[in-house]
Amino acid sequence: MKAPVRVAVTGAAGQISYSLIFRIASGSMLGPDQPVILQLLEIPPAMGALQGVLMELNDCAFPLVAGVIATDDPNVAFKDIDFALLVGSRPRGPGMERSDLLNANGAIFTVQGKALSDNAKPNVRVLVVGNPANTNALICLKNAPKLNPRNVTAMMRLDHNRAMSQIAEKTGTHSTKVEKVVVWGNHSSTQYPDISYATADGKAVKSLVTDEWNKNEFIPTVQQRGAAIIKARGASSAASAASAAVDHMRNWALGSNGQWVSMGVYSKGNPYGVDQDLIFAFPITCENGEWKIVEGLEISDYSREMIKKTEAELQSERAAVADHIK
């Protein structure tokens, strides 16, 4: 058995974490031979609920759990961690403007970025799930001088998995036979799910579907999937979000075996002409614990326009949180 690694989860008493923590503890994220010490962070009003999660975690008697810490202090939660899944964030309240939401979360991710920088292992891998995920990740990165900017990422994997599943259904295949899907940009309704390079059972998806389906069904369905789930379930997607977080971290740590995945990463040095100071989703492959942007793709005029739109939204989010990223 390997030595345990330390994994922090924030928002640990929330909906996503109620699924996520148990998947991590079972070995789905880092493998069946990797023990974990879970370091769970909540805010003081949720510490009671977190105790309940802790009781259930103990009741699972997971063989891979080598320890659990529950705390409301980020400096304790992030001490010596190898992985951080930042799920906790401030939801939009009644009458709250978008800029208020960005700033309320800005305050959280400023504190957590600093606490990560001061306490985590320098090569900690960070995944921001809490929305607005890309901009929260940018704030975290800017407030964490000791971290490698490459190690702060935002979750686009749910969007990626949604796109894979829509294509599999449309082309009558299994999602494991769908490859080279990309979701570019922001985890928001401006994201660009792109089938330009995608294949299903080895055939170009573009040759299997119409342009009309792509533009008027596929793209809006993936972009609006979160809202559709809230409408149907009366609550936001939690299990699928947790599953996507597990996928993101597993591929990053253990490799994507040549498969393309979508990850929100720091855009500095990107080969697609996107603003160099954003957390932006690109097509990515992972190997030996490192992510790499897939290079050399031809970008059509339509794709360029869609990428510009989501880039512009991220630029305006960045402007709205300027005070947090100085």
In 121-269, where does DSSP find H-type helix? 133-142, 157-171, 211-213, 219-223, 225-233, 239-254
Distances (CA, A) of 185 to 158, 264, 280, 303: 13, 7, 5, 11
Return binding residues for NAD(+). 11-17, 105, 112, 129-131
3-state helix, strand and coil shares in percent for the chain, rounded to the nearest 5 = 45, 20, 35
Nearer of residues 14 and 283 to ligand NAI, judged by Cβ: 14
The answer to whether residue 289 forms part of the interface with ligand NAI (CB under 6 A) is no
- Catalytic-labelled residue, pool 160, 187, 248, 324: 187
Tokens of 178: 């769908």
The answer to whether residue 15 forms part of the interface with ligand NAI (CB under 6 A) is yes
The answer to whether residue 229 forms part of the interface with ligand NAI (CB under 6 A) is no
| Strand positions, DSSP E, the chain | 5-10, 36-41, 65-71, 83-86, 125-128, 152-154, 178-179, 182-184, 192-194, 199-200, 203-204, 261-266, 279-287, 290-293
Site size for ligand NAI (CB under 6 A): 28
Tokens of 212: 């009309």
* Of the candidates 218, 224, 213, the residue with the CA atom closest to the CA atom of residue 193: 218
Residues 270 and 265: their CA atoms lie apart, in Å, by: 10
Cβ at position 265, least distance to ligand NAI in Å: 14
Nearer of residues 243 and 285 to ligand NAI, judged by Cβ: 243
**Residues in region 185-214 near ligand NAI by CB under 6 A:** 187
**Residues in region 42-101 near ligand NAI by CB under 6 A:** 42-43, 46, 87-91
Stretch that binds ligand NAI, among 40-48, 163-171, 177-185, 305-313 (CB under 6 A): 40-48
Cβ at position 187, least distance to ligand NAI in Å: 5
CA angle 62, 68, 74 (to 5 degrees): 145
Stretch that binds ligand NAI, among 123-131, 137-145, 161-169, 297-305 (CB under 6 A): 123-131
The answer to whether residue 108 forms part of the interface with ligand NAI (CB under 6 A) is yes
* Residues in a beta bridge with 290: 287
Q: Is 160 a catalytic residue?
A: no
Which of 7, 8, 9, 11 touches ligand NAI (CB under 6 A)? 11
Q: What residue ranges bind ligand NAI (CB under 6 A)?
A: 10-11, 13-17, 41-43, 46, 87-91, 108, 129-131, 133, 155, 158, 187, 236-238, 241
Return the active site residues. Answer: 187
